[in-house]
Amino acid sequence: MSNLYETWVFQQELPNPFAEIVQKNGGRKASARSEDCSKYNITRAKSATLHPPTLRAILSLLGMMDGKESGAAGHQDSNGEVNFYCLEYQKTEGTYALVYNRRNGKIKGLRRQGQQCGPLSPVSAQGSNGEEYMALFAYLSLDGSEGLNDTEFASHFYAIHEHFAGHKRLEDKELLRCAFVCCDNLYRRLEFGSTLDEGAIPLDGNQLETPDFLTPYLLSAGIYSPNTIDYGEFEILSIRPVLQEATLGEIKKKYDQNRKYPKEYACMVPRLPESYRVNIETQEILSMIVQTPARFFMLAGESGAGKTTDSKMIAQALGYPHFVFTCGPNTEETSLMVSILPNIDSCTLPHEDWPTMEDLLMDPASAVAGLTGTYPKGMEQDEAFQKILKEIYQRGYNRAKAEKDFIKKESTIIQACRMPSVIEIQEVSMIEKPGTLTRLNALFDDCAKTDLLNGEMIERHPDTVVIFTTNLDYIGCQMFNESVLSRMNLIQHRKGMSAKDMAKRAMERTGCQEYDVIYEMAKIVTKIHQHLLKKQVQGGVCGYRELENWVWSYLASGDVLSASYHTVVSKASPYPEDREEILKTYLLPYLEMAA
């Protein structure tokens, strides 16, 4: 039996007028009359018992229907099916918001007191009596689909409604009978659903002890928002606001974390123009970073789709330093942790007196003696010169062996993990060994710790944001290790920008305000890109970067056609015949029409 029907629940006081009627009839909350039992009560010794939380829930639902009580009931539909049933229920300890998934019997919810939101109270003698759950089950029994609506419950519920609305007054006996049937109906369908052929209400009873929390992010994301409202007006489970493109300046005001950094890191916070437009996908990532523990993201898409620019926008909006680590085919596990750098300090040589050319010409033996300490009598110039070169070489070799010529320094990834920051790990799909990235798994787990080569244990700062930016279908790209993919909180497959978007961004970045010209250039770039895909031309690219370079060249030369030769056409293909076809097909026709 679930917590909803434990003994202490039945011992609670009944709400009026049911309590008064029961008192008149001797105080008995149970009935053995068959007409008081639900059709789902198939036991030999039939009996029905009034359930205080169910009756309170019914009275509250009636108040919602008539606009006399706060609260709301509705559901979210898609493709003609109900995804979730939604309820907001008012109690003295706060407003309860619940969503029910009929497919798995799961309920998520929260309790709001003032402006503070927390998990649902567990159904227990010290917690909730469960009437908010009973209101949800009563509601879906009235208006539910896919077999959840129940004509028996609905007919007796609406009879009670008619009575309280004054449309059809019932005798006490009839009113009490409706109450018995409604309570027994829900009890049987919830507790004995596995034995019923139809009418059962799926419910995972264990969740009532530890209810699933409906987090603020899930609320703001609108995943459980109703799109059909039957009663009342939703305040918590409201329709999510539609995200719209906004400028970087506007986004920064909303998401800036106001962190302070030392000078060497403060200068790493990006300073893109605040007039840049921030797309909806980037805002989605920012919303997750600020409102949830999510910190790991992947942006996948073709070159020039704006992945790196968007990662910089995320860093600038948060006010975080932006670190970059670029992978290649030979990236190894160790390079993810440390960088091997030349020891510049070891290049400082001690002062030594070397023999000059004049010394060698005047007295070769003395020149050698000054260097080696031994006077080779009668040594000729050529032999002395060879001796001096050999001695200098040997001294340099011995010094190099004795000194540390390379030093190990923390990689960019480790530096970024020590502070709130955005670390962009570029071109991860280029790594030839997909398992290489698993070296970072410990940093990406909940423990957020891993060991360095020197034995130090590094712990990732909880506000470090990791963004993988990569192409997945270019030559040389490899498959990802599944353990790395599973640690991503969100993976966005970015499509290439439209010609309109490319034109707007090119205007922002270059300062050229000739929109009509740039828009036509962007359309040409888009057509060439589609041509490369259709013809499966390898070794060529044509995207936003080519457009921007074209615009820069146009600003310098003033000639659209000549500016395209070395910025667009030359990069579209390594083969002369392809470049000639592209020039004649996509560039010359436009320029002839423009002329």
The answer on 490 and 510 residing in a single domain is: no
The answer on 335 and 250 residing in a single domain is: yes
Predicted pLDDT at 401: 57
Mean pLDDT (whole number) for 423-450: 66
The answer on 80 and 170 residing in a single domain is: yes
The answer on 399 and 433 residing in a single domain is: no
Mean pLDDT (whole number) for 25-47: 89
The answer on 137 and 25 residing in a single domain is: yes
What CATH number did the domain enclosing 258 receive? 3.40.50
- Is the pLDDT at 232 greater than 50, yes or no? yes
Residues 551, 554, 559, 561, Cα dihedral to 10°: -40
Give the percent of the chain with pLDDT over 70: 83
Predicted pLDDT at 17: 93
Predicted pLDDT at 476: 42
Q: How many domains does the chain have?
A: 4
- pLDDT tens profile 356-369: 777 777 777 777 77
CA–CA dist 560, 565 (Å, integer):
9
Predicted pLDDT at 333: 59
Note whether residue 29 is domain-resident.
yes
Predicted pLDDT at 105: 86
Predicted pLDDT at 376: 79
The answer on 305 and 362 residing in a single domain is: no
Q: How many CA atoms are closer than 13 Å to the CA of 295, on its beta-carbon side?
A: 19
The answer on 353 and 322 residing in a single domain is: no
CA–CA dist 205, 211 (Å, integer):
10
Note whether residue 408 is domain-resident.
no
**Count of Cβ atoms closer than 10 Å to residue 322 Cβ:** 22
Residue holding tokens 């400082």? 348
The answer on 193 and 308 residing in a single domain is: no
Note whether residue 455 is domain-resident.
no
The answer on 394 and 470 residing in a single domain is: no
Last residue of a domain, one of 232, 261, 278: 232
- pLDDT tens profile 46-56: 899 999 999 99
Last residue of a domain, one of 180, 204, 232: 232
The answer on 275 and 137 residing in a single domain is: no
Note whether residue 307 is domain-resident.
yes
Helix H or strand E segment including 263: helix 263-266
Reported as a pLDDT band with limits 50, 70 and 90, residue 313 is very high
- Is the pLDDT at 166 greater than 80, yes or no? yes
Mean pLDDT (whole number) for 35-41: 93
Helix H or strand E segment including 323: strand 322-326
- pLDDT tens profile 474-484: 444 455 556 56
Note whether residue 7 is domain-resident.
yes
Predicted pLDDT at 475: 45
Mean pLDDT (whole number) for 425-448: 64
- Is the pLDDT at 110 greater than 80, yes or no? yes
Tell me if 335 sits within 8 A of 411, measured CB to CB: yes
Tell me if 470 sits within 8 A of 298, measured CB to CB: yes
Residue holding tokens 């398992």? 435
Structural domain that includes position 386: 344-403
Tell me if 318 sits within 8 A of 256, measured CB to CB: yes
Note whether residue 130 is domain-resident.
yes
Mean pLDDT (whole number) for 322-331: 80
The answer on 355 and 277 residing in a single domain is: no
CA–CA dist 230, 382 (Å, integer):
106
Note whether residue 410 is domain-resident.
no
Q: Name the token pair of 328.
A: 């290649």
- Is the pLDDT at 454 greater than 70, yes or no? no
The residue count for the chain: 595
Reported as a pLDDT band with limits 50, 70 and 90, residue 31 is very high
- pLDDT tens profile 290-307: 888 888 898 887 776 778
Last residue of a domain, one of 232, 259, 274: 232
Mean pLDDT (whole number) for 406-427: 80
Predicted pLDDT at 408: 58
**C-alpha dihedral sign at 578, 584, 585, 587:** positive
Q: What are phi and psi of 230, to 5 degrees?
A: -95, -40
Mean confidence (pLDDT) of the chain? 82
- Which tops the pLDDT comparison, 130 or 399? 130
Least confident of 81-90, 275-284, 452-461: 452-461
Tell me if 63 sits within 8 A of 69, measured CB to CB: yes
Predicted pLDDT at 73: 92
Exposed, middle or buried, 448 (CB in 10 Å: 0-12/13-18/19+)?
Answer: middle
- Is the pLDDT at 457 greater than 80, yes or no? no
Least confident of 62-66, 296-300, 450-454: 450-454
Note whether residue 237 is domain-resident.
no
The whole-model pTM stands at: 0.52
The answer on 348 and 325 residing in a single domain is: no
Predicted pLDDT at 64: 92
